């Protein structure tokens, strides 16, 4: 039986690649009888705390085959790369806030070493770790896990961010992310949580109601540039942010979490960061990207970001209490929301 096709098709209208894989449609949808990530499953075995697996139905692979040749500017390439899964805990339920802290540190270390290893392959341009949580986001397996896409091109969004960083540097002489941090910290109103190395805040320019960005205050280009202590402090920030999300409405909040880092080659001066996009706008309403968002790439924000940040700070205060009760002592402080901290 055919192993299927994994190809990139060029979208000439938007100037971006679409990853086409012909066997992805058969991947299991939630109701598999046995969790493939629980200890003792065929793929996982026993005796691990955090584990990296190959995606069983990868969108990209190193032996990718294309179904056809391109024609004229309808370009077709092999979807060369990889899709990995990182299972953060043997526990079947939970989120980053309930995963043991030592696992989380290991998780960050694993993402960094995956980035380094995969970038050694000269055909790989980008390593994109992300985490989708919740049924509304279409997560087919509920066991806590992240994914890592190993791509033969730089994602357009990262290119755009870099282009804006480059422009900012040309006009202002500084790093855009460092300067955003400065503005956010000066104003204070949208800060959520801060430890010695990382600041978590709802950006002035948020597109999703409860969007949160986590930036290292030191100018670090990628996960591979984090010092051991910074990896632990990133783990701490991720733990507190997810705990705040889960304390916000009293249920486990679905979100997408994405790591933006420097591509494998070039892009000097990129400043790494993490972005969270939860899809809720209230306890019972979703912010569905619809006509204006998808059709125009124009986002509407139905509140003031400063109000939403205040809600998140209140949730973070509750979250920190919960974490302390469960035996975890956060490394930083929930922001007061005041200027000039
Ligand atoms: Zn499981
Ligand atoms: Zn910077
Ligand atoms: Fe970003």
Residue 40 alpha carbon to ligand 3 centre in Å: 37
What is the predicted pLDDT for the residue at 177? 98
Residue 1 alpha carbon to ligand 3 centre in Å: 41
Residue 144 alpha carbon to ligand 1 centre in Å: 8
Q: What is the pLDDT of residues 284-315, one digit of tens each?
A: 999 988 899 999 999 999 999 999 999 999 99
Q: How far apart are the first and last CA of the chain?
A: 62
Which ligand has the minimum distance to the alpha carbon of residue 165? Answer: 2
Degrees, nearest 5: CA angle 94-97-101: 110
Residue 271 annotated in active site: no
pLDDT-derived band at 250 (thresholds 50, 70, 90) equals very high
Q: How far is residue 175 CA from its own chain's centroid? A: 21
Site of tokens 């190395």: 197
Q: Alpha-carbon distance 251 to 270, whole Å?
A: 35
Q: Which backbone phi and psi does 123 adopt, to 5 degrees?
A: -85, -10
Which ligand has the minimum distance to the alpha carbon of residue 161? Answer: 3
Residue 19 alpha carbon to ligand 2 centre in Å: 31
Contact assessment for residue 132 and residue 266, using Cβ atoms and an 8 Å cutoff: no
- Listed residue (243, 273, 246) closest to 258, CA to CA: 273
**How far is residue 222 from each of residues 100, 198, 231, 232, 272, measured CA to CA in Å?**
24, 14, 11, 15, 5
Which ligand has the minimum distance to the alpha carbon of residue 177? Answer: 2
Which residue stretches of 128-227 are H helix? 156-172, 176-187
Residue 71 alpha carbon to ligand 2 centre in Å: 42
Who contacts 291 (Cβ-Cβ below 8 Å, separation ≥6)? none
Q: Is 341 part of a structural domain of the chain?
A: no
CB count in 10 Å sphere of residue 155: 18
- Listed residue (152, 139, 150, 147) closest to 53, CA to CA: 147
Contact assessment for residue 200 and residue 309, using Cβ atoms and an 8 Å cutoff: no
Residue 12, domain extent: 6-334
Once rounded to an integer, what is the mean pLDDT over residues 238-254?
A: 97
Q: Alpha-carbon distance 147 to 285, whole Å?
A: 27
Cα radius of gyration (the chain): 20
pLDDT-derived band at 29 (thresholds 50, 70, 90) equals low
User: Higher-confidence residue: 45 or 27?
Assistant: 45
Residue 219 alpha carbon to ligand 2 centre in Å: 4
What is the predicted pLDDT for the residue at 28? 58
The pTM score is 0.95
Degrees, nearest 5: CA angle 108-37-33: 155
Contact assessment for residue 248 and residue 312, using Cβ atoms and an 8 Å cutoff: yes
Question: What CATH code is carried by the domain that includes residue 84?
Answer: 3.30.428.10
Residue 89 alpha carbon to ligand 1 centre in Å: 9
Q: In this structure, what token pair is assigned to residue 332?
A: 């930083």
H/E stretch holding 234: helix 228-248
Q: Is 324 part of a structural domain of the chain?
A: yes
Q: What is the pLDDT of residues 205-225, one digit of tens each?
A: 999 999 999 999 999 999 999
Q: Is 340 part of a structural domain of the chain?
A: no
Which ligand has the minimum distance to the alpha carbon of residue 164? Answer: 3
Q: What is the pLDDT of residues 180-203, one digit of tens each?
A: 999 999 999 999 999 999 999 999
Antiparallel, parallel or unpaired: β 212-216 and 198-201: antiparallel
Which ligand has the minimum distance to the alpha carbon of residue 203? Answer: 3
- Which one of 92, 143, 145, 260 is the catalytic residue? 145
Residue 25 alpha carbon to ligand 1 centre in Å: 22
What's the total number of domains in the chain? 1
**How far is residue 268 from each of residues 162, 166, 272, 316, 320, measured CA to CA in Å?**
9, 10, 11, 35, 37
Q: Is 1 part of a structural domain of the chain?
A: no
């Amino acid at each position: 039986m055919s192993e299927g096709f994994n190809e990139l098709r060029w979208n000439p209208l938007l100037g971006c690649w679409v990853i086409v894989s012909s066997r992805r449609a058969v991947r299991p949808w939630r109701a598999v009888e046995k969790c493939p990530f629980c200890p003792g499953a065929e793929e996982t075995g026993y005796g691990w705390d955090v584990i990296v697996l190959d995606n069983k139905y990868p969108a990209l692979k190193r032996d990718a085959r294309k179904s056809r040749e391109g024609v004229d500017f309808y370009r077709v390439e092999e979807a060369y790369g990889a899709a990995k899964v990182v299972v953060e805990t043997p526990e079947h339920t939970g989120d980053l806030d309930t995963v043991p802290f030592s696992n989380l540190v290991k998780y960050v270390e694993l993402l960094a070493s995956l980035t380094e290893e995969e970038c050694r392959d000269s055909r790989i341009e980008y390593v994109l770790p992300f985490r989708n949580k919740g049924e509304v986001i279409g997560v087919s397996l509920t066991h806590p896990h992240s994914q890592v896409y190993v791509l033969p091109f730089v994602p357009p969004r990262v290119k755009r961010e870099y282009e804006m960083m480059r422009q900012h540097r040309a006009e202002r002489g500084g790093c855009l992310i460092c300067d955003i941090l400065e503005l956010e910290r000066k104003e204070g109103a949208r800060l959520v949580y801060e430890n010695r190395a990382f600041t978590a805040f709802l950006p002035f320019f948020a597109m999703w109601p409860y969007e949160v960005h986590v930036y290292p205050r030191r100018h670090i280009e990628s996960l591979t540039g984090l010092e051991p202590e910074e990896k632990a402090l990133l783990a701490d920030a991720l733990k507190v942010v997810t705990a705040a999300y889960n304390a916000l409405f009293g249920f486990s909040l679905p979100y997408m979490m994405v790591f933006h880092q420097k591509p494998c080659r070039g892009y000097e001066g990129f400043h790494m960061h993490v972005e969270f996009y939860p899809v809720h706008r209230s306890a019972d309403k979703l912010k569905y990207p619809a006509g204006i968002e998808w059709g125009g790439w124009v986002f509407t924000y139905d509140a003031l970001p400063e109000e939403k940040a205040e809600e998140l700070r209140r949730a973070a205060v509750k979250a920190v209490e919960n974490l302390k009760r469960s035996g975890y002592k956060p490394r930083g402080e929930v922001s007061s929301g005041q200027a000039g901290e």
